[in-house]
Amino acid sequence: MKATDPNPDITVYFNGRYMRLGDANVNILTHALHYGTGVFEGIRAYWSDEQHEMFLFRAEEHYSRWKSNCGIIRIKVEETARELCGITAELCRRNGFHENVYVRPLAFKSAPRVGVQPDDRDGMAIIAIPFGVYLDSEKGLHAGVVSWRRVEDNAIPGRAKICGAYVNSALAGDEARRNGFDEAIFLTESGHVAEGATCNIFMVRKGQLVTPPPSDNILEGLTRDSVMQLARREMRLEVVERSIDRSELYVCDELFFTGTAVEVGPITQVDHRPVGDGTIGKTTARLRQLYADAVRGEIDAYQHWLLPAGMGVAAPA
């Protein structure tokens, strides 16, 4: 997806107030800007023309994870997960979005000073912006294993979206694209497959759906969890969490990424080698369709994953 600057006139939520994005600014000495002491989250919201409604996908679970992860670096978010969902729905209504949206909550150490030791001054924002395709995967993605290794849990916990940790992803993604790939694949320091630069990874091999375990320094993704549930319930697949060797990527039947932004992204080449026959596999295609249907409210069994934003409710002037 080509990056574009969001409209500065959209409404955001910043430190307890609704305001223009263009007015939601921080001091250049803000602690998080210098030292990466923030935690963010990513939530998708899907617009339905038929129902004239916006559906937030697993929003309360995203916010619960965010609040929990903020505790790792001692940031306190006062609002409950349910209250945060209400704020997000209000943002959708105030902005009058009639398209798919990406929501970015951010909590950060906000003291405007120099010094790596954080204090108890925290800032918080929620931004919702129109958002389309993150990685164009219609014909399959080309992925490559990069030289950078995934951050270790005892260095910077990968299970939390800690801002400073994403230098790791930025370096990996830059290397991958300069080498002609769409996305990076990280290995752990022990040489096992971890995940993509911004997404989890799955492989299909010998009739099993396999994905790395949390102990291999992955983000415990909610899209990952959703796909595992869909695979087990709707396709009766055996889903296995275990370490994956790099060479397994070259001999597996199918590969795909999952994540809030990428959704389900098929991988048809890895390290310039075809995955399977080099086309999108049947299991991947089926899971991608199931996921797309679930997030848009087209499968009754997964309606509990969706929170209507109430777009028919008038927003305050």
Catalytically active residues are 161
Report yes or no: 231 and 206 within 8 Å, Cβ to Cβ: no
SS (H, E, C) 171-191: HHHHHHHHCCCCEEEEECCCC
* Distance in angstroms between the alpha carbons of the first and the last residue of the chain: 33
H helices within 179-301, ranges in order?
A: 222-234, 248-251, 282-295
As a whole number of angstroms, the distance between CA 222 and CA 35 comes to 27
Report yes or no: 125 and 15 within 8 Å, Cβ to Cβ: yes
Beta strand segments in 243-314, E: 254-259, 263-270, 273-274, 306-308
Tokens of 210: 């396999």
Pairing of strands 141-149, 263-270: parallel
DSSP 316: P
Cβ-Cβ contacts under 8 Å for 85 (sequence gap 6 or more): 56, 59, 60, 63, 307
Report yes or no: 292 and 307 within 8 Å, Cβ to Cβ: no
The one-letter code for the residue type at 110 is S
Residue with tokens 């800007």: 33
Tokens of 69: 């992860």
